[in-house]
Amino acid sequence: MAEHTSQMLVEEFETIASAAPETVMLEFIDGRIEVRKTTDGDHGTIVSWLAKCCMRARPDLDLCPARGLRVDAYRQSRARPDAVLVPEAHFAGHGAWADPAGVLMAVEVTSYDADADRRGRHGKRVAYGESGIPVYLLIDRDSCTVTVHSGPDRQVDGYRVARVTKFGETLVLPDPVGIELDTEILKSYVR
């Protein structure tokens, strides 16, 4: 098996990311710079829908969009999940890249691009799980499914448990989240 090599040091990436314009979202996953495309309106609407669901069910929590996380356990990576669920005001006083400790759930909504599989379905799942984030919610617009990953474990490529639900079904996010989601509305936000 070939040894993994990184494009650059994580500190070099942070310098580049800090100088990038606000219109560009950069991540550093598995030693590679990732440039995230601008999301479409449906993508943003899904994140807003989820924020409302979380606020109604758990007003003690914040759903923070595009928060930079230092997911160091996975090859010194830096990720910007579409959203993260945390205790209220958890990120107050943090810099651009926060420690994932205290994050209850990371959320990704797939985009319609060639990198969606590698980035959202594999690389980030491993990064979030190896960093100990209890729940990873993947809203997959290609397959019209919601996958809930739980039981983070560095020995199994991220998470021990993955539950797949089709758009239109109701699911319960496991503890420590404990929120029920009716996913019927997600059918409206796919091509």
Per the prediction, the chain carries an average pLDDT of 87
Domain positions in the chain:
40-189
CATH 3.40.1440.60 at 40-189, yes or no: no
61 pLDDT band (50/70/90 cuts)?
A: very high
Q: Write out pLDDT tens, residues 98-127.
A: 999 999 999 999 887 666 545 556 788 999
Residues 6+ positions from 53 with CB-CB distance below 8 Å = 179, 181
Q: What is the per-residue pLDDT for 113?
A: 66
- CA dist 26 and 36 (Å) reads 6
User: Could you give the percent of the chain with pLDDT greater than 90?
Assistant: 55
Q: How far is CA 75 from the centre of its chain?
A: 17
- Most confident among 13-17, 35-39, 185-189 (mean pLDDT): 185-189
Q: What is the per-residue pLDDT for 119?
A: 55
